[in-house]
Structure 1
Amino acid sequence: MPGHARQLPLWLKLLFTVWILFWAPAYAVMLGAQNYFWLCNLASFLILIGLWMENRLLLSMQWLAVLLVGLFWALDVGVAWLAGFHPIGGTEYMFDPEHPPLARVLSLYHLVLPFVAGFAILRLGYESRALIWQTLLTWVVIPLTFLFTEAERNINWVQGPFGMQQDILPLPVYLALLMLVWPLVLYLPVHGLMRFFQQREKRR
Structure 2
Amino acid sequence: MNAASPRLPFALKLVVSAFLAIMVPVYYHDYGPTNFLYFCDVALLLSFIALWTEKALPASMAAVGILVPQVLWCADFLGELFNVHLVGLTGYMFDENRSLFLRGLSFFHGWLPFLLIFLVKRLGYDRRALLAWTALGWSLCLVAYFFMPAAGTVLSDPKIPVNINYVFGFDDAHPQTWLPAPLYLMAWMAGLLLLFYVPSHLVLRRLFGNPATRTQVVSQPADDTVILAIGGRVAR
* TM-score, normalization by structure 2: 0.77
Shift of 1:5: 5.4
Aligned match of 1:190: 200
Aligned match of 1:132: 131
Q: Mark the structure with the bigger radius of gyration.
A: 2
Hey, what's the Cα distance between the residues in 2 that align with 1:99 and 1:150? 20
Shift of 1:162: 5.5
Aligned match of 1:48: 48
CA deviation string 1:50-74 (max 9, x = no partner): 2111110111010112211221101
What is the Cα-based RMSD across aligned positions, in Å?
A: 1.9
Write the letter of the residue equivalent to 1:161: F
Aligned match of 1:100: 99
Aligned to 2:125, the other structure's residue is in SS state coil
| Residue 159 in structure 1 maps to residue 168 in structure 2 | yes
Hey, what's the Cα distance between the residues in 1 that align with 2:91 and 2:19? 24
CA deviation string 1:18-38 (max 9, x = no partner): 111100110111111111110
Residue 162 and residue 117 in structure 1: after superposition, are their counterparts in 2 closer, same or farther (change >3 A)?
farther
Hey, what's the Cα distance between the residues in 1 that align with 2:63 and 2:147? 26
Shift of 1:198: 4.8
Give yes or no for contact 2:65–2:137 (8 Å, CA) kept in 1.
no
Aligned match of 2:90: 91
Hey, what's the Cα distance between the residues in 1 that align with 2:188 and 2:64? 17
Greater Cα shift, 158-167 or 64-73: 158-167
**Gapped runs of 5+ residues in structure 2?**
154-161, 214-236
Structure with a larger share of its residues in helix: 1
Residue 130 and residue 198 in structure 1: after superposition, are their counterparts in 2 closer, same or farther (change >3 A)?
same
Hey, what's the Cα distance between the residues in 2 that align with 1:109 and 1:167? 32
Hey, what's the Cα distance between the residues in 1 that align with 2:19 and 2:105? 10
CA deviation string 1:80-108 (max 9, x = no partner): 102x0221222111112123332211111
| Residue 30 in structure 1 maps to residue 30 in structure 2 | yes
Greater Cα shift, 25-34 or 190-199: 190-199
Write the letter of the residue equivalent to 2:50: G
**Gapped runs of 5+ residues in structure 1?**
none
Shift of 1:169: 1.4
Write the letter of the residue equivalent to 1:53: T
| Residue 64 in structure 1 maps to residue 64 in structure 2 | yes
Give yes or no for contact 2:69–2:196 (8 Å, CA) kept in 1.
yes
What is the count of residue pairs matched by the alignment?
197
* TM-score, normalization by structure 1: 0.89
Identity of aligned residues (%): 34
Aligned to 2:126, the other structure's residue is in SS state coil
Give yes or no for contact 1:6–1:123 (8 Å, CA) kept in 2.
no
